[in-house]
Amino acid sequence: MDDKGFAFIRSQGDKALFGGFTTQEMKKKLSVPETKPLADFLPTLTIKAKDFATELTSHNVVEKDLKGQNQISNEHIENNLAVRKMLKERGVQPEKLPALEDVKKVQRKLESEDKKVSKTTTKLTNKKKKD
């Protein structure tokens, strides 16, 4: 299967998990820029739900010897629907969870803050050595 086939399968899984909303519709709903991945803005709960459904699919592809885009896509949709059902039973609707700040942006901020802390620590260490 090629990248286009995998992208189709992933998008079908998203649609099942998000109650019928496509990946593009969710990006629009959460104000995610077109050029950015939806996953970079999703809450951890949603990412874990997507990961769990994907792992179930991977497991079942091997266990059930599934072949071809249709069989794998149907399996992935069913797994996402099952995860969605469990979330809904616990009062969670993935499509209603708010977007988070861009993960990449947060990572850059943390790296920048780490550099500032390192510089401050170095200055303090050098000052103690002089005293």
Q: In percent, how much of the chain has pLDDT > 90?
A: 69
Mean pLDDT of 26-45: 93
Residue 50, pLDDT > 70, answer yes
- Per residue in 59-110, pLDDT (tens digit) is 999 999 999 999 999 999 999 999 999 999 999 999 999 998 776 766 766 6
Q: How confident is the model at residue 2 (pLDDT cuts 50, 70, 90)?
A: confident
pLDDT recorded at residue 128: 63
Residue 83 contacts by C-beta under 8 Å, 6 or more apart in sequence? Answer: 17, 49, 52, 53, 56
Closest listed residue to residue 57, CA positions, set 45, 46, 66, 48: 66
What average pLDDT does the structure give for the chain?
A: 88
8 is written with which tokens?
A: 């189709």
